[in-house]
Amino acid sequence: MSFAVAVPQSHPVHGNRLANREPLWVRWTLITLALLFLLGFLVMPLAVVFTQAFSKGLTVYTSAILESNALAAIRLTLLVAAISVPLNLVFGLCAAWSIAKFDFPGKSVLITLIDLPFSVSPVVAGLIYVLMFGLQGWFGGWLSEHDIKLIFAVPGIVMATIFVTFPFVARELIPLMQAQGTDEEEAAIVLGASGWQTFWRVTLPNIKWGLLYGVILSNARAMGEFGAVSVVSGHIRGLTNTMPLHVEILYNEYNSAAAFAVASLLALLALVTLALKSFLEWRLHASVSPQDDN
């Protein structure tokens, strides 16, 4: 005998419950304070990029972007991201597979080590490669004998970028794959799938949104990195200048409109990143709690 009736969520989950309500003036004071803080620290810095970029008119804006050194910087930035993001993606997948799907001692130490680049100053991140491969560095003599230039050249920029974006994909995937467990993969193996088939048909579909999330964040950092790249780049216009470094040079030459014009492209990248991130968070939420309750 069942009298169960379909009931809509009968109580709002937060905030609006009668007993937990602050007086209206308290609520509005808090909202106003929070918004003012965000206005001064987030909204204005974002808005000023665009107002400054167009302050001298559209022609100055377009010529600043289409100028040959600017185009070279854009090309280099895209190249660096195109190398470093896939490498870190492969690493992230390997690390997450071995850490999330298997048990072994020292796991938490390994996770901490993977997170390490986040807590290292970008300047130090650049410096360590100068110490390895620069003229005075460990391999400096050997490299110069064989006429190989890594530092103050593109390879150095790529290495520094890989370092600062190292953890993004891995740290996104590890908790996700741990939460999903190994049941589905084991089921696939029992049903006769090979390791690759299991990965492509079972694991990857389950983690695709988390993977994309890590890639988006990793890409934003790769294209926007300044400190680490600045140390290893050598600032050679048209050759080893990425977009952020180009912005710096223009700004220091008091060519503010042009600096902000190039900066506006990076700001757009940030906005697209935020939009994608919000979308992916929504999808991720759905993929972690799929068929829980009705």
- Please report whether residue 172 would count as binding another protein according to CB under 8 A: no
Could you give the C-alpha distances from 28 to 15, 18, 31, 75, in angstroms and in order? 14, 17, 5, 48
- Please report whether residue 275 would count as binding another protein according to CB under 8 A: yes
Least distance from another protein to the Cβ atom of residue 290, Å? 20
- Please report whether residue 148 would count as binding another protein according to CB under 8 A: no
> Which of 80, 89, 156, 163: binder of another protein (CB under 8 A)?
163
Rounded to 10 degrees, the C-alpha dihedral 258/260/264/267 comes to 150
Q: Where are the alpha helices (H) located in the chain, listed in sequence order? A: 24-38, 44-53, 58-66, 68-101, 107-115, 122-133, 140-145, 154-165, 168-180, 183-190, 195-198, 204-224, 227-233, 243-252, 256-288
Least distance from another protein to the Cβ atom of residue 164, Å? 10
Residues 63 to 122: which contact another protein by CB under 8 A?
Answer: 90-91, 93-95, 97-99, 101-105, 110, 112-117, 119-122
- Please report whether residue 18 would count as binding another protein according to CB under 8 A: yes
Mask: binding to another protein, 186-215, rule CB under 8 A, as x and -?
x--xx----x--xx----------------
Tokens 């990857």 label which residue?
A: 204
Picking from 26, 226, 216, 228, the residue whose alpha carbon sits closest to that of residue 120 is 228
* Closer residue to another protein, CB minimum distance, 129 or 209: 129
CB contact set of 83 (below 8 Å; sequence gap of 6+): 158
Least distance from another protein to the Cβ atom of residue 117, Å? 6
Residues 214 to 253: which contact another protein by CB under 8 A?
Answer: 217, 220, 223-227, 230-231, 243-245, 247-248, 251
- Please report whether residue 166 would count as binding another protein according to CB under 8 A: yes
